[in-house]
Chain A
Amino acid sequence: MNYPYVLTGIFIMALVTYIPRMLPLAVFRKKIENPFIQSFLAYVPYAVLSAMTFPAILSSTASGWSAAAGLVAAILLAYKGKGLLTVAIGATAVVFLVEQGMVLAGIG
């Protein structure tokens, strides 16, 4: 392993990860009064998480079918207001079961 290269690479990664996190929080000390920007920033979290989840969730497991089943399970659990961990474990369990079922059925 070429350590000087790897460590420099890691340092670069750490730096370009930290800067976008730090700058806005450190620079914007005043509350923004503009109602449009206020509303915009309030919606950002949901938009970001949704864009990160779809369609990436469908390719997060070994098969699109098991991922789709996990997605349905996660949506149902979340819709019922279950917590973060319950939803995550529930989706994982469904994916696991579906993939085992596919192996048994000879289509995995």
Chain B
Amino acid sequence: MSEQLTFQKGLRDGIPICLGYLSVSFAFGMMAAQGGMPVWVALLISMTNLTSAGQVAGTSLILAGGMYLEIAVTTFVINIRYMLMSLSLSQKVDEAMTTFQRWVLSFGVTDEIFAVAMQQKGEINARYFSGLICLPYCGWALGTFLGAAATGILPESLRSALGIAIYGMFLAIIIPPSRTSKPIRRVVIFAGILSCVFTWTPGLNQLSSGWVIILCAVVASALAALQYPIAKEAQT
């Protein structure tokens, strides 16, 4: 019998995400404040967006006085990956989850919350998912507030080092299963290489990072699904 997916377990699983978010949103808060935004505006962005890359790109555009259309398209493209995640989640959640619950809980679909939710065995219910979202949401808001309020206090050397924190978390999610599963290992390596190719090849690097992520993820996952179909009920 596996551990029950309760609200409390969700809260517990959210702690490491929350701590990771504190440092990342701290960096976001500093960036917004350095660009001249008041603390409450930076906080408002974090509390209504709850996303890293899209938020940073959108905020830079606002600070630069970009057009609304430009803000919308850039943010949307970076966030299209959430459609893939949300689609993955739709197959993983309890069918009893109501439409209202889906509307509310989908607000909390982030890369890390998604990754942790998908690691659970079996179906995910609304109680667990809401618990999982709580602390990361608070951490994201608190970190933004502290970063915006404390701009300039943290030395540049520490700010630079914290830039890698979020990627460290990603690696901690993808590497352990890559050790034990050959298909996952191949997906990870192939998607990573493809992403490098798109970033470094002249011409191809004109594509925005949002599209690159989508393209790499779709190609790598589709190839793996063809080559290594997963037997029903054996999904991890």
Q: Which B residues between 29 and 65 are near A, CB-CB below 8 angstroms? A: 36-38, 41, 44-45, 48-51, 53-55, 58-59, 61-62, 65
Q: Which A residues between 19 and 66 are near B, CB-CB below 8 angstroms? A: 19-32, 35-57, 60-63, 66
- Report the separation of the CA atoms of residues A11 and B19 in the bound assembly, to the nearest whole angstrom: 27
Q: Is the CB of A85 within 8 A of B86?
A: no
What range describes how many residues of A lie at the interface? 35 or more
Q: Count the B residues whose beta carbon is within 8 Å of the partner chain — how many?
A: 111
- Report the separation of the CA atoms of residues A89 and B22 in the bound assembly, to the nearest whole angstrom: 12
Is A1 at the interface (CB under 8 A from chain B)? Answer: yes
**What chain A residues lie within 8 Å of B61 (beta carbons)?**
9
Instruction: Give the distance to chain A from B122, nearest Cβ to Cβ, in Å.
Output: 13
**Which of A11, A21, A23 counts the most chain B CB atoms within 10 A?**
A21
Q: Is the CB of A70 within 8 A of B168?
A: yes
Main secondary structure of the interface of A (DSSP, over half): helix
- Report the separation of the CA atoms of residues A42 and B187 in the bound assembly, to the nearest whole angstrom: 11
- Report the separation of the CA atoms of residues A74 and B160 in the bound assembly, to the nearest whole angstrom: 16
Q: Is the CB of A83 within 8 A of B106?
A: no
The A-B contact count (CB < 8 A) is 325
**Which of B61, B156, B170 counts the most chain A CB atoms within 10 A?**
B170
Q: Is the CB of A51 within 8 A of B68?
A: no
Instruction: Give the distance to chain B from A48, nearest Cβ to Cβ, in Å.
Output: 4
**Which of A10, A46, A60, A62 counts the most chain B CB atoms within 10 A?**
A46
Q: Given A42-B236, A96-B157: A36 and B225 within 8 A (CB)?
A: yes
* Residues in B lying within 8 Å of A, measured CB to CB: 16-17, 19-20, 23, 36-38, 41, 44-45, 48-51, 53-55, 58-59, 61-62, 65-66, 68, 71-72, 75-76, 79-91, 93, 95, 99, 102-103, 105-107, 109, 111-112, 114-115, 118, 156-158, 160-179, 183-184, 187-196, 199-200, 209, 212-213, 216-218, 220-222, 224-226, 228-230, 232, 235-236
* Residues in A lying within 8 Å of B, measured CB to CB: 1, 5-6, 8-32, 35-57, 60-63, 66-67, 70-71, 74-75, 77-79, 81-93, 95-96, 99-100, 103
